[in-house]
Amino acid sequence: MEFPFDVCRALRPGNDGIAIIRSKDCNTREVCEIIDAMGNASAKAQGLRAVITTAVRFFSSADTALYIKIEGKRVVGILKTGYRKLFYSDEMGRISEITPLCLLDFYVHETLQRSGHGKELYTKMLQVSGVQPNKIAIDRPSPKLISFMRKHYGLCDYIPQNNNFVIFREYFRVISI
**Could you list the residues that contact ligand COA (CB under 6 A)?**
45-46, 106-108, 113-119, 140-142, 144-145, 147-148, 151
Q: Smallest gap, in angstroms, from Cβ of residue 159 to ligand COA?
A: 18
Q: Smallest gap, in angstroms, from Cβ of residue 150 to ligand COA?
A: 7
- Cα–Cα distance, 136 to 99 (Å, whole number): 10
- Cα–Cα distance, 46 to 38 (Å, whole number): 12
Q: Identify which of residues 48 and 90 has a Cβ nearer to ligand COA in the complex.
A: 48
Q: Smallest gap, in angstroms, from Cβ of residue 154 to ligand COA?
A: 12
- Cα–Cα distance, 17 to 66 (Å, whole number): 14
Q: Smallest gap, in angstroms, from Cβ of residue 144 to ligand COA?
A: 4
DSSP track, 31-47: HHHHHHHHHHHHHHHHT
Contact call for residues 70 and 19 (beta carbons, < 8 A): yes
Q: Identify which of residues 21 and 77 has a Cβ nearer to ligand COA in the complex.
A: 77
Q: Nearest residue to ligand COA, using CB?
A: 118
Q: Identify which of residues 1 and 45 has a Cβ nearer to ligand COA in the complex.
A: 45
Q: Smallest gap, in angstroms, from Cβ of residue 153 to ligand COA?
A: 10
Dihedral of the CA atoms 37, 43, 45, 49 (nearest 10)?
A: -130
Query: In the sheet that 74-83 helps form, which strands lie side by side, from edge to edge?
Result: 18-22, 64-71, 74-83, 101-108, 136-139, 165-166
Q: Identify which of residues 162 and 176 has a Cβ nearer to ligand COA in the complex.
A: 162
Q: Identify which of residues 101 and 108 has a Cβ nearer to ligand COA in the complex.
A: 108
- Cα–Cα distance, 36 to 53 (Å, whole number): 7
